[in-house]
Amino acid sequence: DQQVKQNSPSLSVQEGRISILNCDYTNSMFDYFLWYKKYPAEGPTFLISISSIKDKNEDGRFTVFLNKSAKHLSLHIVPSQPGDSAVYFCAASGRNAGNNRKLIWGLGTSLAVNP
Amino acid sequence: GAGVSQSPSNKVTEKGKDVELRCDPISGHTALYWYRQSLGQGLEFLIYFQGNSAPDKSGLPSDRFSAERTGGSVSTLTIQRTQQEDSAVYLCASSWGVAAETQYFGPGTRLLVL
C-alpha cells in the first residue's frame, strides 16, 4: 500500500516556465515532508522540506506547498531550467509507535525541461 | 567535507554467488539507511541503523539479505545466493539521527546478477 503517491511518472516543461510536481499521502501521522532530486547514476540529493506546521516553504526557485486537509503537497520550480531535468522524489515521515522516524518515499516523477 | 561513499560502484555477479556492498557514512552521522532502486521503480527501504539500537530490518525482502554496522560507522550489506531479481541500485544514506529527516545519499552500487 503506497502511503506516498506521485501519480505522474513524468512531466515535460519548457525552459523558463513553471514546473509543478505533485505528491499525495494517506497517513495523517506524517508531519514532515521532503523533496529529493536524483540525476542518473547518482544518489538522491535533498532539495527542500516542509514541516506540517507550515503551508509553504520557499528556497530560491523552489517552493513547496502543503495542504494538510487534502493530504497533498506540491513542488514548484520557477523558472525551470534544463539542469532541473531529473527524477524528483517526495518523502514523508512521522513518529511511529516506537517513537522512531522513517522516511516513506514516493515512486518519483521524471521532469524534463526542454530548452 | 566527505560525503557518503559506497563501494564497489558496480558489481556483476553470477546467480547463486554472495555479494557484499559497503557504505561509509558521513562522519558523525548516527543513523544509516540502506535502500534499493530497481529499474523503473522508486526507493525501496531495506534497513536502518540508529546508534546502538537494534536495527530496523523490516524492509529486508528475504533472509538472504543481511546488514551490519561495525563501530557505529561503516556498514556492509550482504546478499547471499543472489538471484536475478536482486539486480538493482543499492543506495546508502546517513543522517545526524533518526529524528533528523534529511538523509544524505551515496552514489549507489549497481548490482547486476547474471
**Closest alpha carbon within chain A to B49:** A102
Give residue A65's pLDDT: 98
Nearest chain A residue to B38 by CA: give it.
A107
Nearest to B108 among A43, A100, A102 (CB): A43
Residues A61, A56: Cα–Cα separation, whole Å: 13
The single residue listed with the C-alpha cell 513542488 is A75
pLDDT at res. A102: 74
Write the CA distances from B78 to A42, A72, A87, integer angstroms: 21, 37, 28
| Selected residue with higher pLDDT from A69 and B98 | A69
| Cβ neighbours around B89 below 10 Å, total | 20
DSSP alpha helix (H) spans, chain B: none
Q: Which of residues 32-91 of B touch A (CB under 8 A)?
A: 33, 35, 41-43, 45, 48, 50, 56, 91
Cis preceding linkage at A79, omega within 30 = yes
> Mean pLDDT in each 10-residue stretch from start to end of chain A (115 residues)?
89 97 94 93 91 95 97 97 96 71 86 96
Selecting from A43, A89, A102 the residue whose C-beta is nearest the C-beta of B48 gives: A102
Per residue in B50-92, pLDDT tens? 888 888 898 899 999 999 998 879 999 999 999 999 999 999 9
- State residue B70's pLDDT score: 84
Residues of B in Cβ contact (< 8 Å) with A34:
101-102
List CB contacts (< 8 A) between B99 and chain A.
101
Task: Please name the member of A43, A46, A91 whose beta carbon is closest to the beta carbon of B91.
Answer: A43
When CB atoms are compared, the residue of A41, A46, A101 closest to B99 is A101
Determine whether the interchain pair B43/A46 forms a contact, defined as Cβ–Cβ distance below 8 Å: no
Per-residue pLDDT reduced to its tens digit, B21-55: 999 999 988 889 999 998 877 788 899 898 888 88
How far apart CA B22 and CA B64 sit, in angstroms, is 17
pLDDT tier at B98, thresholds 50, 70, 90:
low
